[in-house]
C-alpha cells in the first residue's frame, strides 16, 4: 500500500536541523526546537506504527519511479517499531542534552548535527534500496564523526581517529559488496534482489558477497574480531552523545544484518556457523572486558559488545523463535543502553567522576534517583519480570531446540557476568561509603529545580518505556511474533514493494 | 579494457589494505582514499562496460534488444565520490588536529590515559 507519510519521521528531523542552523549560536532557541522536533517525531512515529499495524506494509516510491527502478521506502513492522524507539531515545537525549551539555558545544552546532544523525537513523530503517541504505549509513557516520569530535579534547580526538578509520573501512566493504551484488544481479532494490539472487548461476559468488556484508555490518555493530574501536572511543564524548551512540548506532548494524539476511542472503550452513562462532566469541570477549574495567562508561562499552553477541546469535539460528528473541532483545537493548549512558552522565553530574573507585555513597545522598537507576540496571540484567528477561527465554528455547549448546553456554556466561558487573557497580557506586580522600564536586545540587527535572526526566521516560516492555510483555510478544513472520516469509515484503508476483 | 581495469582494481585494493595496516596516520589516510577509488572502479567494471551506446532505448521498444550502456553504475559512483570526498576532507582535518595535539604520526601513540571531562 502506498503512503506518502512514511518519510515524515525523516523530514521532521531534517526540518528541525535546518531551523537550528538558521538559529546558529542561539542556544535557547535551538534547545526548544530540538525538544519540540523530537516530540513531534515521536508522535509521527506512533502514527506510522499504528498505520503499519492496521494496514500492513506501507511503501513509497520516490519521485513516483516504479520499483524496482526507483528508490523505494518501505515501512514494515520491524522498521516502524525501530523508528518509534529511535524517536523515543532521541527525545530523551534532546531533554538531557539541553542541560547536561557544555554550552561551548552547543555554540558549535551540537543540536543540528544531532538531528541529522536521527534523520539518518530513521532513513536507514525505512529504506528499501540497498544503495540508499549505504547513503543513510554515510549520513549517520559523518554526523557521528562531528558529534564525537565536537569539543576537541585530546582523548576525544584520539578516540575519533580509531572510530573514523574503522567506520570508513566498514563503508568501503559495504560498498564493495553492493558493487558485486549489482554486478551479479543487476538490481539494487532489496525486494527485487531477493528474487533475482536465487537465479544467479554461481552461488559461491553470492556467498563471497555475503561475507563482504558480514564484514561491513560486523564492524558497524562491533562483533568479535572487529570490535576494538568501540571500547576505545565510546567513553570519550559527552554522555548525551555517548547515549545516542551506545543505544542506536551499533543497533543499526544489527538491523541491517537482520534485513539483509532475511531478504537477500538467506543464511546457509556456512553463514550460520560463521555467525554463530562470531556470536559466541563476541559474548565471551565482551563479558571478560567488562569484568576488569573500573570506569563506568568503559564498562558499559564492553557490555554493549557482549550483548551484541546475543542478537547475532539469534540471527545465526534463524528460526522463528530465535528471531522473536533477537528482535525483542533489540527493542529492549535500544532503550536500556541509551538509558545507561544517560545515567553515567548524571552520575558524573552528581559526583564529578565516572571512576568506580572514587565513587560511593550515592544511595545515602540521593535515594530516589538511586532507586530509579536500580530499576534500569535490573532491566539490563534481566531480573523477571523486567524487560531483559523475556527475550532471553526465546533465545534459550531456540538454542536448545537447535542443540546449539555453545551458544547456550555463552548466553549463561554473558548473563552471569552482566549480573556480576552490575552488582559490583551497585556496591561500589551506591552502597560503599564515599572514599574520604576524594573531594566531591556536586554540580547537580546547586542547579535550579527546572534543570534538575530536565536531567532526570529523560531517564524516567526511558525507564517507563523499559517497564512497559517488561510488564506488558504479552503485547510486545504479539508484535515480535508478527515481525518474525514477516521476516521469515519475505513474500509479503516483496508483494508490497513489487506488486503481486505471478 | 576490462583486463586493465581489473589489474588496476587489484592494485588499488592491495595498496589500500597495505597502507591501512601501517602505523602512520598519513598512510592510513592514503589507504582509505585508495580503497575508495578501488571500490568506485569495481562498481564501474561490474556495471558492464559498453562502448559508444547511449543509455536510451526506442520509445516503441518493449524489450531491451540492443546492447545499451547502463547509467546506474555511473550515478552510484558519482554519489560514492561525493561521499568519500566529504569523508576524506573530514579525515584530513581530524588527523591534522590530532597531529598538532599529539605531535606524532604514529597511531600507537594515541593512548593518552583517561582524563575526566563532561
Distances (CA, A) of A71 to A83, A130, B4: 19, 9, 33
Please give the average per-residue pLDDT across A9-18, as a whole number: 93
* Cα B107 from Cα A159, distance rounded (Å): 11
* Cα A132 from Cα A175, distance rounded (Å): 11
Taking the CA of residue A196 and the nearest CA in chain B, the distance in Å comes to 16
Range in A121-125, A166-170, B106-110 the model is least confident about: B106-110
Distances (CA, A) of A149 to A127, A235, A274: 28, 12, 35
* Cα A21 from Cα A341, distance rounded (Å): 27
Tell me which residue in B39, B95, B114 faces A161 most closely, judged by beta carbons: B95
Taking the CA of residue A451 and the nearest CA in chain B, the distance in Å comes to 16
Residue-wise pLDDT tens digits, B87-109: 999 999 999 998 888 888 888 87
For the record, the C-alpha cell of B12 comes out as 588499488
From the CB of residue B108, how many other CB atoms can be counted at a distance below 10 Å? 7
Find out whether A219 and A308 touch, Cβ atoms under 8 Å.
no
* Cα B28 from Cα B20, distance rounded (Å): 5
Per 3-state DSSP, chain A is made up of helix, strand and coil in percentages (nearest 5) of 75, 5, 20
A155: closest chain B residue by CA: B112
Domain boundaries, chain A: 8-498
Which of A272, A316, A294 is closest to A411 using CA atoms? A316
From the CB of residue A364, how many other CB atoms can be counted at a distance below 10 Å? 12
In order along its 118 residues, chain B shows pLDDT tens digits of: 889 999 999 999 999 999 999 989 899 999 999 999 999 999 999 887 877 777 777 777 777 666 777 888 889 999 999 999 999 999 999 999 988 888 888 888 777 665 544 4
How does DSSP assign B32-100, residue by residue?
HHHHHHHHHHHHHHHT---SS--S---SS-SS--S----HHHHHHHHHHHHHHHHHHHHHHHHHHHHHH
CB contact under 8 A, B87 and A142: yes
Give the residues across from A74 on adjacent strands: A59
Tell me which residue in B46, B107, B117 faces A182 most closely, judged by beta carbons: B46
* Cα A316 from Cα A347, distance rounded (Å): 37
Burial of A102 (0-12, 13-18, 19+ CB in 10 A): middle
Distances (CA, A) of A328 to A68, A470, B10: 31, 10, 42
B contact test, residue of A104, A116, A150, A165 with most B CBs within 10 A? A165
**Per-residue pLDDT for A234 more than 70?**
yes
For the record, the C-alpha cell of A236 comes out as 570519550
Tell me which residue in A157, A172, A188 faces B97 most closely, judged by beta carbons: A157
- Report the pLDDT value the prediction gives residue B117, as an integer from 0 to 100: 46
Taking the CA of residue A158 and the nearest CA in chain B, the distance in Å comes to 5
The answer for B 54-83 residues in CB contact with A (under 8 A) is 70, 72-73, 76, 79-80, 83
How does DSSP assign A82-114, residue by residue?
HHHHHHHHHHHHHHHHHHHS-HHHHHTTHHHHH
- Report the pLDDT value the prediction gives residue A447, as an integer from 0 to 100: 82
The confidence band for A155, taking pLDDT boundaries of 50, 70 and 90, is: confident
User: What is the residue whose three cell numbers read 558549535?
Assistant: A108
* Cα A463 from Cα A465, distance rounded (Å): 5
- Report the pLDDT value the prediction gives residue A156, as an integer from 0 to 100: 85
Taking the CA of residue A407 and the nearest CA in chain B, the distance in Å comes to 32
The answer for A 134-193 residues in CB contact with B (under 8 A) is 135, 138, 141-142, 145-146, 149, 151-155, 157-158, 160-162, 164-165, 168-169, 171-172, 175-176, 178-180, 182-184, 186, 188
**Per-residue pLDDT for A134 more than 90?**
yes
Find out whether A230 and A250 touch, Cβ atoms under 8 Å.
yes
Taking the CA of residue A203 and the nearest CA in chain B, the distance in Å comes to 17
Which of A124, A38, A117, A115 is closest to A73 using CA atoms? A124
Distances (CA, A) of B53 to A333, B47, B56, B66, B68: 52, 14, 8, 9, 5
B contact test, residue of A168, A346, A359 with most B CBs within 10 A? A168
* Cα A232 from Cα B113, distance rounded (Å): 11
The answer for A 236-275 residues in CB contact with B (under 8 A) is 238-239
Distances (CA, A) of A268 to A6, A317, A412: 33, 10, 26
Residue-wise pLDDT tens digits, A49-61: 999 999 889 999 8
Residues of A in contact with B20 (CB under 8 A): 165, 169
Tell me which residue in B35, B80, B117 faces A153 most closely, judged by beta carbons: B117
Please give the average per-residue pLDDT across A6-18, as a whole number: 92
**Per-residue pLDDT for A418 more than 80?**
yes
Distances (CA, A) of A273 to A59, A204, A216, A369: 34, 16, 18, 44
The confidence band for A146, taking pLDDT boundaries of 50, 70 and 90, is: very high
Tell me which residue in A151, A153, A176 faces B39 most closely, judged by beta carbons: A176
Q: What is the ipTM of this complex?
A: 0.92
Please give the average per-residue pLDDT across A426-432, as a whole number: 87
Amino acid at each position: 500500500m502506498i503512503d506518502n507519510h512514511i518519510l515524515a519521521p525523516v523530514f521532521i528531523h531534517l526540518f528541525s536541523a535546518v531551523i537550528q542552523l538558521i538559529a546558529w549560536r542561539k542556544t535557547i532557541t535551538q534547545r526548544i526546537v530540538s525538544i519540540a522536533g523530537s516530540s513531534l517525531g515521536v508522535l509521527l512515529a506512533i502514527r506510522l506504527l499504528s498505520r503499519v499495524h492496521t494496514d500492513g506494509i506501507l511503501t513509497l516510491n520516490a519521485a513516483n519511479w516504479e520499483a524496482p527502478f526507483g528508490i523505494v521506502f518501505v515501512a514494515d513492522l520491524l522498521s516502524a517499531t525501530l523508528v518509534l524507539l529511535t524517536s523515543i531515545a532521541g527525545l530523551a537525549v534532546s531533554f538531557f542534552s539541553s542541560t547536561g551539555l557544555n554550552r561551548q558545544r552547543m555554540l558549535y552546532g551540537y543540536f543540528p548535527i544531532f538531528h541529522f544523525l536521527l534523520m539518518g537513523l530513521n532513513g536507514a530503517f525505512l529504506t528499501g534500496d540497498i544503495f540508499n541504505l549505504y547513503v543513510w549509513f554515510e549520513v549517520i557516520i559523518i554526523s557521528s564523526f562531528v558529534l564525537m569530535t565536537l569539543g576537541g579534547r585530546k582523548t576525544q580526538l584520539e578516540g575519533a581517529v580509531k572510530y573514523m578509520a574503522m567506520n570508513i573501512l566498514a563503508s568501503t566493504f559495504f560498498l564493495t559488496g553492493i558493487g558485486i551484488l549489482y554486478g551479479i544481479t543487476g538490481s539494487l532494490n532489496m525486494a527485487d534482489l531477493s528474487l533475482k539472487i536465487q537465479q544467479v548461476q554461481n552461488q559461491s559468488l553470492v556467498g563471497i558477497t555475503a561475507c563482504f556484508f558480514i564484514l561491513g555490518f560486523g564492524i558497524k555493530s562491533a562483533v568479535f574480531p572487529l570490535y576494538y574501536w568501540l571500547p576505545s572511543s565510546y567513553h570519550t564524548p559527552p554522555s548525551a552523545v555517548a547515549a545516542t551512540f551506545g543505544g542506536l548506532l551499533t543497533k543499526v548494524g544489527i538491523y541491517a544484518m537482520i534485513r539483509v539476511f532475511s531478504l537477500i542472503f538467506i543464511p546457509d550452513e556456512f553463514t550460520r556457523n560463521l555467525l554463530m562462532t562470531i556470536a559466541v566469541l563476541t559474548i565471551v570477549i565482551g563479558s571478560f572486558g567488562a569484568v576488569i574495567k573500573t570506569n563506568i562508561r568503559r564498562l558499559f562499552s564492553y557490555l554493549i559488545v557482549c550483548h551484541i553477541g546475543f542478537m547475532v546469535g539469534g540471527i545465526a539460528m534463524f528460526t522463528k523463535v530465535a528471531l522473536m528473541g533477537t528482535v525483542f532483545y533489540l527493542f529492549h537493548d535500544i532503550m536500556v543502553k541509551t538509558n545507561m549512558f544517560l545515567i553515567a552522565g548524571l552520575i558524573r553530574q552528581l559526583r564529578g567522576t565516572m571512576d568506580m573507585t572514587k565513587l560511593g555513597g550515592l544511595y545515602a545522598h540521593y535515594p530516589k534517583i538511586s532507586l530509579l537507576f536500580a530499576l534500569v540496571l535490573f532491566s539490563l540484567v534481566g531480573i523477571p519480570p523486567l524487560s531483559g528477561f523475556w527475550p532471553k527465554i526465546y533465545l534459550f528455547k531456540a538454542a536448545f531446540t537447535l542443540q546449539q549448546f555453545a551458544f547456550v553456554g555463552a548466553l549463561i556466561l554473558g548473563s552471569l557476568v552482566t549480573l556480576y558487573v552490575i552488582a559490583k557497580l551497585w556496591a561500589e557506586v551506591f552502597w560503599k561509603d564515599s572514599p574520604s580522600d576524594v573531594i566531591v564536586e556536586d554540580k547537580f545540587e546547586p542547579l535550579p529545580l527546572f534543570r534538575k527535572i530536565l536531567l532526570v526526566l529523560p531517564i524516567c521516560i526511558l525507564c517507563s518505556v523499559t517497564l512497559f516492555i517488561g510488564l506488558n510483555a504479552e503485547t510486545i510478544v504479539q508484535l515480535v511474533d508478527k515481525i518474525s513472520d514477516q521476516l521469515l516469509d519475505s513474500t509479503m515484503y516483496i508483494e508490497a514493494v513489487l506488486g503481486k508476483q505471478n | 579494457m576490462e583486463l586493465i581495469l581489473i589489474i588496476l582494481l587489484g592494485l588499488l585494493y592491495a595498496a589500500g589494505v597495505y597502507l591501512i595496516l601501517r602505523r602512520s596516520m598519513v598512510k592510513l589516510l592514503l589507504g582509505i582514499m585508495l580503497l575508495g577509488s578501488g571500490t568506485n572502479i569495481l562498481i564501474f567494471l561490474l556495471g558492464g562496460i559498453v562502448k559508444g551506446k547511449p543509455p536510451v532505448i526506442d520509445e516503441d521498444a518493449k524489450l531491451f534488444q540492443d546492447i545499451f550502456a547502463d547509467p546506474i553504475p555511473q550515478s552510484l559512483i558519482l554519489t560514492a565520490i561525493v561521499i568519500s570526498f566529504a569523508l576524506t576532507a573530514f579525515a584530513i582535518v581530524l588527523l591534522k588536529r590530532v597531529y598538532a595535539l599529539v605531535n606524532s604520526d604514529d597511531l600507537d601513540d594515541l593512548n593518552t590515559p583517561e582524563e575526566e571531562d563532561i
